[in-house]
Amino acid sequence: MPTNAESFFRSLANAADIEQLISTTEDLYFDAKTVNNESFKADSDQGALAKAISAFANSDGGVIVYGLEAKRDEKGRDVVQAAKPLADPALVQSKILGLVGQLVQPPVEGILAESRIGASPQGYVLVLVPPSDSGPHRARPHDKYYRRHGSASLPMEHYELEEMFGRRRRPLLQLYSHFVRRVGNVADGYFALFAIGLRNTGRGIAKCPGLLLRNARAFEGGFDAVGNVGLPALPTSDHRNLFYGGSTDRVIYPGIELDVAAVTRGVEVSRLALGQIKSVSCSDLSISYEIYAEDMPTIKSTMIIHSQEILDAMEKVGM
């Protein structure tokens, strides 16, 4: 799932999108800048870049847009006043990419810089600074730590530095589902088989993952008809609940999905005398769940797979 900064970065697909930012206010994820020297030889240009990278990386990430001029209005807001396109966007992009590893300590991983060219050779440069767990990041050459507060990049307080020096990369597990196949037959009835799994959208490894599904019906054959599931099934005091969990040898890496449980939903098929299908129906599949992992708060919610989604999946494989 993209961060707010990534979504904003991708929304600025061309020069016209950037020029639409005129009259908008800088915010937690957006910093408009001009340059004194497009070769970035000026200390002021390098210092401003270092400060912005430090602030965004120590916060929730953000986008620096070069080629827009922002000024403070009468209400104290930093508002984009005008477009000031760069004469050589490719040069600015190249210089920024060459400097980002030198201006902030420790360096911020994953910084992107892209050009957006207008009708003329002039244009803009976007710099995406992702949030970082390897900080806090210090801006050189003045060795100050910054953080984004609203539209301002401000020096960090002592307590903020203490918090960040003790911060660890943490996992974030989310539930997902997908249709696997149809099971059953005319005599015993048809069922839609779904995989219920965990996706790690955090930046830390999810250790000892666990998943509790309430009022769910497990398919004994697992995903492959021989009983395999993604995490070991653990006993519960209530047979209506399914509990799966792993010890320290079971982890889910960042960006990885793990199919955990195989569950089914019955599908009613009404046939005519000649065997032709008259109608197919089923109800929504609603499952309350809890997700656990080391270094992550317990997540409790309800997942609903709507009946139409089930019927559409069954129609594709045929009855």
- If asked whether residues 250 and 270 sit together in one domain, one would say yes
- If asked whether residues 182 and 294 sit together in one domain, one would say yes
| CA torsion, ordered 153, 154, 160, 161, to nearest 10 deg | 90
Residue 68 has what pLDDT?
95
- CATH code (residue 119): 3.30.950
- If asked whether residues 277 and 309 sit together in one domain, one would say yes
Q: What is the pLDDT of residues 185-209, one digit of tens each?
A: 766 678 888 899 999 988 788 999 9
Among 116-125, 206-215, 271-280, the range scoring the smallest mean pLDDT is 271-280
Between residues 312 and 130, which one has the greater pLDDT?
A: 130
Q: What is the pLDDT of residues 24-56, one digit of tens each?
A: 999 999 999 999 999 998 889 999 999 999 999
- If asked whether residues 84 and 199 sit together in one domain, one would say no
Rounded Cα gap, residues 252 and 249, in angstroms: 10
Residue 122 has what pLDDT?
93
Chosen domain end from 141, 165, 189: 165
Residue 228 has what pLDDT?
74
Mean pLDDT within 209-216: 89
- The whole-model pTM stands at 0.56
Chosen domain end from 132, 165, 198: 165
Q: Residue 296: which pLDDT band, with cuts at 50, 70 and 90?
A: confident
Residue 197 has what pLDDT?
92
Query: What are the C-alpha distances in Å from 49 to residues 97, 134, 238, 277?
Result: 11, 19, 58, 66
- CATH code (residue 208): 2.60.40.10
- If asked whether residues 72 and 200 sit together in one domain, one would say no
62-66 vs 30-33, strand pairing mode = parallel
Q: In what order do the strands lie in the sheet with 173-185?
A: 173-185, 189-200, 257-271, 277-281
- If asked whether residues 104 and 223 sit together in one domain, one would say no
- If asked whether residues 152 and 243 sit together in one domain, one would say no
Say how many domains are in the chain: 2
Q: State yes or no: pLDDT of 273 exceeds 60.
A: no
Residue 125 has what pLDDT?
97
Residue 272 has what pLDDT?
56
Among 81-85, 135-139, 225-229, the range scoring the smallest mean pLDDT is 225-229
Q: State yes or no: pLDDT of 319 exceeds 60.
A: no
- If asked whether residues 219 and 309 sit together in one domain, one would say yes
Question: Looking at this protein, which amino acid is placed at residue 27?
Answer: D
Which range marks the domain in which residue 234 is found?
173-317
Chosen domain end from 147, 165, 183: 165
